[in-house]
Chain A
Amino acid sequence: MARRLVTLLFLVLAAMAAVSGLAAAQDGEAVEGTLRGPDGEPVAGVTITVEQDGQEIGTTTSGADGTWLVPVPAPGGYDVTLDAATLPDGVALRDADGATLPAVTVRPGQQRTVLFPLVAPGAADDGAAPGPAPPPADTGPGIGALLAQLTVSGIKYGAIIAIAAIGLSLIFGATGLINFAHGELVTIGAVTAFFLNAAAFGPGMGLIPAALIAIVVGAIVGGALELGLWKPLRIRGTGRIQLFIISIGLSLFLRHIILVIFGSRPRPYADYVIQQVMIFGPVAITPRDLVITVLSLVVLVAVGLMLLRTRVGKAIRAVADDRDLAEASGVDVSRVILYVWVLGGALAALGGILFGLSEIVAWDMGFRLLLLMFAAVILGGLGSPFGAMAGGLLVGLVAQLSTAYFPVELQNAWALGVLILVLLVRPQGIFGRAERVG
């Protein structure tokens, strides 16, 4: 019996991979799922309603393939109700009181999958058989366990931000450019991997080779931008503010080209989507998130070692620190700047793939990460790669831990609030040299 229920729930979980044909809201937040009966067959024509504070947000009916999707206007908590009266004969809710799932948390940009376990009527309320834990609910047992859980997800979020932000910081240090289009490098990486991995007309390769190619593409895009756009502009002597606004134009341009190609609907990768949660003491984590976290930290350490130990790394730090002095000491500055762009593009692409894997791939994911990357870079001190790493982790932790006490839709607001606070008391950043910045 227990075995059958586990299989059944696994089938319901498989809903996460299903691609529904409905259009999502512009910002991409939605509640979705797939209804499958005890035999694994999709259940169509079931009405599902999403409410917030008793106010109806939207209602939908599951399609022929059992999928349903309700776009929601913003992140936050929503109550999702399945109208049991519309269930076909021979199918019932396993948990008769489970028709309404209260306070389903939708994070920014997330398409939250909601499960309604369905069984044959006789099997209903067989409470003795524990299925695998549903996706970790936000109403955890104790505050300590909750904080531990959030710390782990904060480290994951922060490490991804840090990986993407290193390039931003190095580029600023080496060229003085605040690159507003850095978020698009993140999106390009994630979207390239998506097309290689999961697109209907793509080659459908595994995510790991797709990610490796996407990282190379990110590096090439970074290098091409430097050679084709920024270097000629620097030679012309274009002013810094002018370059800054040009990067905003580039960001708008690239982002909307990606929107035309990729479409507005956020989509997941094809691999590593359905996973059993592993429990370590108070912390529940999927193998996927564990790998993302460990991999991100390994990459951060590797980049750090590269910057500290290798010749190229030392040259990069020298240029980021003082360009004129590095040039006078015989460093080939324009070559090092090219390396910085290639490295930054590759790291941004990797960050995008990891973010797309842990959340979802969307056309504006890089832009939504951009402000958090800026926060990370400024917190750590503009131009310092190690500062960007520490700042990224701090931003991720603040964003996630704030959800223990404050609404989830404000998590990024807290991270940006910390940025403004740091500018107020220590504008050069935590690790920045105390120099005049005004």
Chain B
Amino acid sequence: MDFLVILADAGRGALGPVAAIYALAAIGLNIHFGYTGLLNFGQVAFMLVGAYGVAVTVAVFGGPLWLGVIVGLVAAVVLAFLLGIPTLRLRADYLAIATIAAGEVLRLVFNSGVARPVTGGVFGLQQFAGAFYAVNPIPSGNYGFGRLTFSQRDLWVMLVGWGAVALATLGVFLLVRSPWGRVLRAVRDDEDAARSLGKNVYGYKMQSLVLGGILGALGGMLLAVDAQAVAPNTFNPVVTFYLYALLILGGAGTVLGPVLGSVLFWFLLLFIDSALRQAIGAGYIPDEVISPADVGAVRFALVGLGLMLLLIFRPAGILGDVEEMRLEAGAGATPRRRRRGRKARPAAGKRTDERVGG
């Protein structure tokens, strides 16, 4: 077993384009779930429309890349309205099922033979991001140290990706400290209290959905550009589950949570992947227990297990504040007795008052 190879694989995962893509989409999800309490399980649908906005505009209609980006963003806004108008008035869990269903409908439609002239059907679209790589300012070669190296192509995607992540993080930092952000958190903590103060809860939720959706679409665009290809089956519901896993790992409702979560998530995922493969290759794990073909499945099972343990033992994640993020949004069906018990705690009550008043 070569420990350096494992570390290099894990490091490549933590810093590489994929981590930046997931960080960007998770920042969007953080606005929905972490700050507004919207259980959006269709974030992958925003990534899909962003990716296809770019791909279809360039590959099918021959438009320039910048136009594709605009088309993708407009598509994300339209999708947010389509999703939000029927579902934002519903209880949180209805929203979850409706959004995941909408994401699946989009994937199935983009996958179908009917849509093939525009979306390329199951085969998707390829080679539409030439313009992006044409402006790569980084001289050719490999960069890095030791075994941890990136090609100039990866480095360019990473530069743009992490740059976007930094800007989005800064934006979220400023937004959540603004009066607007305080109302968002009030909606999350107690929707009725915010409504009774005269806030248009529905409107704030919609703005949050649009804003987070745009960030999701940007993540999708980056994914499309990085792979130079899009195919509908990339955008299956499991992507959204990963986003939730890494967001909660980092800390939902914190500014840096999604970024830290994404880096750590991909580091751990590729660390496990590489370590398992090495252990099997070196014969530490016999083939009958886990064959190399099963490594992918094993690491997904571990993601699931990790998500469960995280929510049971530390639902606030690494950066989160346990009091701040109690994942109680829309607690309509929680037995009354227990809710009253919570509210009676002096610390919690005081904090809620402060936030709503502010």
Contacts and interface: CB of A to CB of B under 8 A. Distances in A.
A437 B94 contact: yes
B327 interface: yes
Given A260-B301, A409-B112, A249 B98 contact: no
A252 B101 contact: no
A165 to B, nearest CB: 13
Interface stretch (B125-133, B262-270, B307-315, B346-354): B307-315
Nearest to B33: A241
Contacts of B298: 256, 260
Contacts, number: 169
Contacts of A417: 105
Contacts of B174: none
B162 interface: no
A427 B90 contact: yes
Interface stretch (B45-53, B59-67, B142-150, B241-249): B241-249
B109 A413 contact: yes
> Interface SS of chain B: helix, strand, loop or mixed?
helix
Interface stretch (B19-27, B116-124, B213-221): B116-124
Identify which of A74, A238, A245 gathers the most chain B CB atoms within 10 Å of its CB: A245
A52 B304 contact: no
Nearest to A181: B304
Interface in B228-267: 233, 238, 241, 244-245, 248
A159 to B, nearest CB: 21
B177 interface: no
A412 B104 contact: yes
Contact of A409 (B91, B108, B244): B108
Given A407-B112, A419-B101, A244 B301 contact: no
B168 interface: no
A253 B111 contact: no
A416 B96 contact: no
A227 to B, nearest CB: 16
Given A53-B113, A241-B39, A178 B93 contact: yes
A424 B83 CA distance: 10
A122 B125 CA distance: 49
Nearest to A252: B304
A45 interface: no
A74 B94 CA distance: 29
Contact of A420 (B105, B109, B329): B105
B91 A437 contact: yes
A237 interface: yes
A250 B241 CA distance: 12
B328 A239 contact: yes
A257 B97 contact: no
Contacts of B96: 178, 244
Given A73-B123, A240-B93, A407-B112, A419 B98 contact: yes
Contacts of B248: 245
A52 to B, nearest CB: 7
A374 B294 contact: no
B94 A378 contact: yes
Nearest to B300: A256
A133 B276 CA distance: 51
Contacts of A178: 93, 96-97
Interface string A354-393: 0000000000000000010011001000000000000000
A262 to B, nearest CB: 10
A407 B113 contact: yes
Contacts of B113: 52-53, 76-77, 407, 409
Contacts of B318: none
A316 to B, nearest CB: 17
Given A237-B338, A324-B335, A416 B104 contact: yes
A427 B85 CA distance: 13
A260 to B, nearest CB: 5
A242 B300 CA distance: 20
Nearest to A52: B113
A246 B308 contact: yes
Interface in A26-68: 27, 52-53
Nearest to B91: A437
Contacts of B114: 407, 410
A254 B101 CA distance: 22
B92 interface: yes
A377 to B, nearest CB: 9
A304 interface: no
B202 to A, nearest CB: 9
A438 B90 contact: yes
A223 B335 CA distance: 22
Interface in B280-322: 290, 294, 297-298, 300-301, 303-312, 315
Given A241-B329, A248-B241, A253 B311 contact: no
Identify which of A252, A407, A413 gathers the most chain B CB atoms within 10 Å of its CB: A252
B80 interface: no
A301 interface: no
A241 B94 CA distance: 12
A412 to B, nearest CB: 6
Contact of A424 (B86, B300, B311, B329): B86
B301 A423 contact: no
B331 A240 contact: yes
A320 to B, nearest CB: 12
B335 A438 contact: no
A2 to B, nearest CB: 39
Contact of A249 (B121, B305, B341): B305
A233 interface: yes
A388 to B, nearest CB: 14
17 contacts: A73-B123, A237-B338, A239-B326, A239-B328, A240-B330, A241-B327, A246-B308, A246-B312, A248-B307, A249-B311, A252-B238, A252-B300, A256-B297, A259-B297, A260-B297, A378-B97, A416-B101
Given A74-B112, A256-B298, A410-B109, 19 more contacts: A53-B116, A176-B334, A178-B93, A238-B312, A240-B330, A244-B39, A252-B307, A256-B297, A256-B301, A257-B301, A260-B297, A324-B337, A371-B104, A374-B97, A407-B113, A413-B104, A413-B108, A423-B86, A423-B98
Interface of A: 27, 52-53, 73-74, 76-77, 176, 178, 233, 237-242, 244-246, 248-257, 259-260, 323-324, 371, 374-375, 378, 407, 409-410, 412-413, 416-417, 419-420, 423-424, 427, 437-438
Interface of B: 39, 86-87, 89-94, 96-98, 100-102, 104-105, 108-109, 111-114, 116, 121-123, 233, 238, 241, 244-245, 248, 290, 294, 297-298, 300-301, 303-312, 315, 326-338, 341-342
Please provide the 10 A-B residue pairs with the shortest distance between their CB atoms, ordered closest to farther: A252-B304, A249-B307, A253-B304, A249-B308, A256-B301, A176-B333, A438-B89, A73-B122, A413-B108, A424-B86
